[in-house]
Structure 1
Amino acid sequence: MVLDCVVIGGGPSGLNASLVLGRAKKNIILFDEDKPRNAVTYESHGFITRDGIKPSEFKRIAKEDFKKYPNISIYNHRVIDIKKENQFFIIHTEKGHSYQSRKIILSTGLRDVMPRIEGIHHFYGTSLFSCPFCDGWELKDRPLVVISEDERAFHMAKMIFNWSKDLVVCTNGKNIFTDEQKQLFTKKNIQVIEGEIEALQGDNGHLQTIKFKNGKEIERKGGFVTTELKQASSLAQALGCMMNKIGGIETDNMGRTNIEGVYAGGDNAVIAPAQLIIAASEGSRAAMGVVGDLVNEDFNA
C-alpha cells in the first residue's frame, strides 16, 4: 500500500501533524524514535490546558487521541534513509522495513550543544534552562545566571531581567559586550563576569555555585544558557533540503521545502523560540500543506 504521508518525529510537531492528517482521512505512519529534545525536562509550559504537563504524559495523551483514527499508525522505528523513486518516496527503517509514501513531513527536531563547562549537563533541565518563556516563572526572583559565549548574551540577559533582578552574566572567557552594553548592565546592577568557568556545582540538579578558573566563586540558584542548535537528523540534508541562515530547514508558509513532496515543521524548521505550542502549530501547518497539495493532485487527476 502506498501511504499518503509519512511523518518522521514524534514530538509535538509530528504528533499534531499526524492528528491533522488523520482527520483529513489520509493514511499515514508516524515514525517516533522516542528520543525527544526535552527528555531532560520535567514539565512543559505555555500550552493552554496543558501548562505544567510532563512531556511523556503529553505524548501519552496525544497517542490516546489517535485511537479514534484507524488510518493513523505509529511505529517506534528509526528512519535511516529516504529515496524518491518516480512520484513516491521509499522510506527505509533500521529494522530493515521499507514503506512507500506520496509525501514526507520531517519533524525530527533539534539537539542542544552545550558550552564545554564541567557539570553543566547535571543541571540542564532542572535548574538551568534555555527558554525563559518555558521556565522563567519557576525561577522568578531567584539569584540567577546567564551563561552565554556569543552575541545572544545581551538579548538573553535583558529577557531574564524580566523574571529576576538578581542577575549575573557569565561569558566563559569571551569578550562579547560593547562598552555601551556593559554600561547598561552596570546601570541595572547586572554583574558581568568574563572569566573562564571551571565548573558548575550543586546537588541533585540544583545549581548552587559557579567556580571560575581564577579561583573566584559565586552562588546562584539557577539560570539560563544559550546553546548551539543542530539538526537532530541528517535526513533533510540527505534529501537536499535547503537550510536557512540559523540552521533550520527552509520552508514556505505551508511547510513545503525546496524538495517537492517534502515538508518540515517544528523546531527543526523554525528553531526559535523552541516552545511546545509553536512546534505543535508548525506541525499542524505542514500537515495542512500536505492535505491541500494531495487534494489538488487528486482532484485535478
Structure 2
Amino acid sequence: MDKFDCIVIGAGPAGLSAALTLGRARRNIAIFDNGTNRNRVTQASHGFLTRDGIKPQEFKDIAMKELQSYPSISIFHETVIEVDKDNQTDLFFVKTSNNASYMAEKILLATGIQEEFPLSQVKQYYGKSLFNCPYCDGWELRDQPLAVIAENSEHAIHLTKLLMNWSKDLIVFTNGHELSDQVRNVFESKKIKVYTSIIKNLLGDHGKLERIELESGETISRSGGFVVPRFYRPNQFAEQFNCQVDENGIIITDGNGRTTVPGVYIAGETEKAGPSSLMIAAADGFKAATSVNMDLTLERF
C-alpha cells in the first residue's frame, strides 16, 4: 500500500493550492480528484488576479499541469469513498471507488460543497444566466432586468441590497413564501416588486433566462438573476472523524486549517459549508498546507 505524508482530498482551488504548497515543500503527497468541482457549470470564473474570466476547467488544467512539475506529488482521478484513522499508529487509510487503498500521516479535506436549489428548473440556467454570487457574476449582468429568487426574508433583503449596486431593475420572487412586514416595507419604499406566488416554470433557451411563469398565471420578463441555494457537504468525512462543528455547521479550526482532530486539516468551502471565491479558497489551501508541513517538521525533527 502506498504511504504518503499527506493525502489531499479534493482538487478545487483549495486542494490544488495545498498540493502545490506541499509539493514545493518536498512532501510526498497525493491529491484525489473526481471532477465534481462546484464551479464546473460556470462559463467563466472571476475575481482571481491574472485569471479574471478564465473558464473553470482551464483554471484547473493549468493548476494540474503546475503540480506535475513536482515529483513528490501524485495525482489520482478517483473518488474517495472511505476514510479511517488507526488510533494505534495514528495513520489514515483512504479507500476509493476503484477499490484501491492508500495510507498517509495527514489528511487534508478540500472536497468543497454542492448546491440544492429551491426549484429544479434552476439547474438549466445555473452558471449561464442564474447565479448565486454577485461578486463573481454581477458585473456581467449589470443594468439588466434581474430576478432575485429567495425563500426567506433574511436572504431576500441581503441579496437585493447587495445587487442594487449592479442593477436597479430588480424583482424579488419568494416561490410561495411570505416575507416579514419589515422586509416588505423596505422593498415598497425602494419600489421593488415582490411576487410571493409559487414559481411554476422558468422559461428561456439554451440556459438564457427570458421569463418567469408563476402559478398565479402571471409571466414576468427577466434576462437573468440570482438565486439563494442551500449548500451542503457532499460527504461526511469530517463528521466521521468527529471533528467539532459549531452551531452554524462550520467546522472548528485554529484559523490555519487544523481541526480539533490531530492529523486532520480542512480548507476552502468544506470548512464553512458555504460559498467562497477562488482566491479565498486558494489562500485557505495554502494556510492549511503550511500547517501540515510545520506539524510534520516538528514531529520528525
2:155 corresponds to which residue?
A: 152
1:175 corresponds to which residue?
A: 178
Q: Secondary structure at the match of 1:259?
A: coil
State the alpha-carbon separation in 1 of the partners of residues 30 and 289 from structure 2. Answer: 13
2:94 corresponds to which residue?
A: 91
State the alpha-carbon separation in 2 of the partners of residues 181 and 35 from structure 1. Answer: 37
- Alpha-carbon offset, residue 272 of structure 1: 4.1
State the alpha-carbon separation in 2 of the partners of residues 176 and 245 from structure 1. Answer: 25
CA RMSD of aligned residues (A): 1.3
- Alpha-carbon offset, residue 271 of structure 1: 3.8
Percent same amino acid among aligned pairs? 45
- Alpha-carbon offset, residue 270 of structure 1: 2.9
Verify the 8 A CA contact 1:131 1:274 in the aligned structure 2.
no
Q: Secondary structure at the match of 2:194?
A: strand
State the alpha-carbon separation in 1 of the partners of residues 143 and 133 from structure 2. Answer: 16
Deviations 1:263-287 (A, max 9, x none): 0101111344421111111111111
- Alpha-carbon offset, residue 243 of structure 1: 2.6
State the alpha-carbon separation in 1 of the partners of residues 14 and 49 from structure 2. Answer: 16
1:27-38 equivalent positions in 2, closer than 5 A:
27-38=28-39
> Any gaps of 5 or more consecutive residues in structure 1?
none
Q: Secondary structure at the match of 1:155?
A: helix
Farther off after superposition, 129-138 or 79-88:
79-88
2:262 corresponds to which residue?
A: 260
State the alpha-carbon separation in 1 of the partners of residues 246 and 223 from structure 2. Answer: 36
Amino acid at match of 1:93: T
2:293 corresponds to which residue?
A: 291
TM-score, normalised relative to structure 1: 0.95
- Alpha-carbon offset, residue 162 of structure 1: 1.1
State the alpha-carbon separation in 2 of the partners of residues 120 and 80 from structure 1. Answer: 29
Amino acid at match of 1:19: L
1:116 corresponds to which residue?
A: 119
Amino acid at match of 1:190: I
1:190 corresponds to which residue?
A: 192
- Alpha-carbon offset, residue 187 of structure 1: 2.1
Q: Closer, same or farther in 2 for the Cα pair 1:196/1:140, shift >3 Å?
A: same
State the alpha-carbon separation in 2 of the partners of residues 264 and 298 from structure 1. Answer: 22
1:70-149 equivalent positions in 2, closer than 5 A:
70-85=71-86, 86-117=89-120, 119-149=121-151
The count of corresponding residues between Structure 1 and Structure 2 is 297
1:213 corresponds to which residue?
A: 215
> Any gaps of 5 or more consecutive residues in structure 2?
none
Q: Secondary structure at the match of 1:202?
A: strand
Verify the 8 A CA contact 1:231 1:248 in the aligned structure 2.
no
TM-score, normalised relative to structure 2: 0.95
